[in-house]
């Protein structure tokens, strides 16, 4: 598809950083390559053009309240001055901004990254009594967006069920095949006996259980768990650092995309053990497919949707995410059976090459834009 170079697309986010993997590296760059004039308004240090995408910076807010009530409308006024043909926003708190843009005669797309009502039910910083109320309000806002806006892009088929079918497209958050070239792939048998987790390090994503599992790992296996990401709080970081299993953990902090792929090419197992929280059960975490992309067998939570993927492909082992001993046993089995583990990794990589990749999802995004235009 070759878009009219005069067609201006404005992406907005007040929550995500400018180089967010889905917003910038996948969607914005895909649209720019297709010939659209793409602008991204996001938290950033300076205005610049990167890979054909013009980034207009927003300041980093002092707290959530300033982000909700000040940054959102600052983004609106910057956006409206761009005189775009299509506005594509990525945060639920921008729904009022999206409706205002629609009233101004613009075509507006809402990109739904999470099942927000379910996500709110698991937010630790929201008082438990308030969560059902806010979840209901968010559900009503979502319905309003579905009625008022021109298009809805969702990340999973389950989320699509909450929006009008004729306006909605599922564009799943699968990995970029181009990232396979970011690092030299290491032969599986030559990799150190280590495990990796990439992404946000939180309670509901299994931070405690991952570190506890390392405590139960047999001493004759010289394995370490590499954590790449940021802790959700200093208190959680302090807590896990005091655990016995931490002696077998290497904390790397946040890594850029190239270093993430380099890390994954130098471990034997990828782990993703989200808890049984409403928003996790139906999610499709990008890290699961990134592990598969680089040929890693996975240790994953035994959720129905994840079971369907992992068992169908035959690319890993499923566990109770709340059972550190079961997690440790799954890791141990993969490390002690390298031939079987390597075969699992090969099957996972093949599945990504054939099915679970961004390049196929990009086609759906471009067709949706073409239809909207």
| pLDDT by 10s per residue, the chain, length 373 | 455 557 999 999 999 999 999 999 999 999 999 999 999 999 999 999 999 999 999 999 888 888 888 999 999 999 999 999 999 999 999 999 999 999 999 999 999 998 877 777 777 778 888 888 888 988 898 899 999 999 999 999 989 999 999 999 999 999 999 887 766 677 898 999 999 999 999 999 999 999 999 999 999 999 999 999 999 999 999 999 999 999 999 999 999 888 999 999 999 999 999 998 877 787 888 899 999 999 999 999 999 999 999 999 999 999 999 999 999 999 999 999 999 999 999 999 999 999 999 999 999 999 999 999 8
Same domain, 212 and 164: no
Same domain, 166 and 183: no
pLDDT at residue 262, rounded to an integer: 92
* Count of domains for the chain: 2
Residue 161: inside a domain: yes
Residue 334: inside a domain: yes
Residue 192: inside a domain: yes
Q: What is the pLDDT of residues 21-51, one digit of tens each?
A: 999 999 999 999 999 999 999 999 999 999 9
Residue 2: inside a domain: no
Token couple for 198 = 């990439």
Same domain, 58 and 190: no
Residues 168, 61: Cα–Cα separation, whole Å: 31
Name beta bridge partners: 201.
Answer: 231
Q: How many degrees, rounded to 5, is the angle at CA 204 between CA 201 and CA 206? A: 60
Token couple for 122 = 């698991």
Token couple for 331 = 């890791």
Same domain, 69 and 107: yes
Domain region containing 35: 8-174+357-372
Same domain, 247 and 325: yes
Same domain, 25 and 98: yes
Residue 1: inside a domain: no
The widest CA-to-CA distance across the chain, in whole angstroms, is 66
Same domain, 187 and 335: yes
CA atoms within 13 A on the CB side of 322: 5
In 3-state terms, what secondary structure has residue 10? Answer: strand
Same domain, 161 and 192: no
Same domain, 160 and 290: no
C-alpha distances (whole Å) from 268 to each of 82, 278, 335 are 47, 30, 7
Whose structure tokens read 């961004």? 358
Query: Phi first, then psi: what are they for 326, rounded to 5°?
Result: -65, -40
Residues 214, 193: Cα–Cα separation, whole Å: 13
Q: Which helix (H) or strand (E) holds 107?
A: strand 107-112
Residue 3: inside a domain: no
Residue 186: inside a domain: yes
pLDDT at residue 107, rounded to an integer: 97
Residues 312, 357: Cα–Cα separation, whole Å: 17
Query: Phi first, then psi: what are they for 281, rounded to 5°?
Result: -60, -35
Query: Phi first, then psi: what are they for 365, rounded to 5°?
Result: -65, -45
The answer to whether the CB of 360 falls within 8 A of the CB of 246 is no
Same domain, 137 and 231: no
CATH of the domain at 159: 3.40.50.2000
The answer to whether the CB of 220 falls within 8 A of the CB of 191 is no
Residue 333: inside a domain: yes
Same domain, 195 and 235: yes
Residues 282, 165: Cα–Cα separation, whole Å: 19
Residues 140, 137: Cα–Cα separation, whole Å: 5
Residues 196, 270: Cα–Cα separation, whole Å: 5
Residues 337, 18: Cα–Cα separation, whole Å: 41
The answer to whether the CB of 365 falls within 8 A of the CB of 153 is yes
Same domain, 321 and 182: yes
């Amino acid at each position: 598809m070759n878009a009219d170079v005069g067609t201006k697309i404005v992406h907005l986010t007040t929550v995500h950083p400018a180089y967010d993997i889905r917003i910038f590296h996948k969607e914005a760059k895909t649209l720019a390559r297709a010939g659209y004039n793409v602008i991204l308004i996001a938290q950033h240090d300076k205005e610049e053009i990167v890979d054909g995408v013009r980034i207009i910076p927003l300041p980093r807010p002092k707290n959530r309240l300033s982000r909700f009530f000040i940054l959102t409308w600052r983004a609106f006024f910057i956006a409206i001055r761009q005189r775009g043909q299509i506005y594509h926003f990525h945060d639920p708190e921008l729904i009022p901004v999206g409706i205002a843009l629609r009233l101004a005669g613009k075509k507006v797309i809402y990109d739904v990254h999470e099942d927000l009502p379910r996500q709110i039910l698991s937010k630790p910083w929201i008082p438990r009594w308030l969560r059902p109320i806010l979840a209901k309000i968010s559900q009503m806002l979502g319905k309003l967006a579905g009625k008022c806006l021109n298009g809805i892009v969702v990340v999973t088929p389950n989320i699509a069920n909450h929006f009008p079918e004729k306006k909605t497209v599922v564009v799943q958050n699968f990995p970029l095949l181009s990232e396979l070239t970011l690092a030299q792939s290491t032969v599986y048998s030559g990799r150190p006996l280590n495990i990796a987790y990439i992404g946000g390090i939180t309670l509901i994503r299994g931070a405690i259980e991952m570190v506890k599992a390392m405590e139960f790992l047999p001493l004759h296996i010289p394995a370490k768990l590499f954590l790449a990401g940021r802790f959700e709080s200093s208190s959680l970081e302090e807590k896990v650092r005091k655990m016995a299993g931490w002696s077998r953990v290497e904390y790397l902090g946040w890594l850029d995309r190239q270093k993430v792929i380099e890390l994954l090419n130098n471990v034997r197992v990828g782990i993703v053990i989200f808890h049984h929280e409403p928003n996790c059960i139906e999610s499709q975490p990008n890290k699961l497919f990134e592990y598969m992309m680089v040929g890693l067998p996975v240790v994953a939570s035994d959720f129905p949707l994840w079971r369907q993927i992992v068992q169908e492909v035959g690319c890993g082992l499923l566990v109770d995410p709340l059972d550190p001993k079961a997690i440790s046993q799954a890791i141990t089995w993969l490390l002690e059976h390298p031939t079987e583990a390597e075969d699992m990794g090969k099957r996972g990589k093949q599945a990504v090459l054939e099915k679970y990749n961004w390049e196929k999802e990009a086609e759906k995004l471009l067709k949706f834009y073409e239809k909207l235009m």
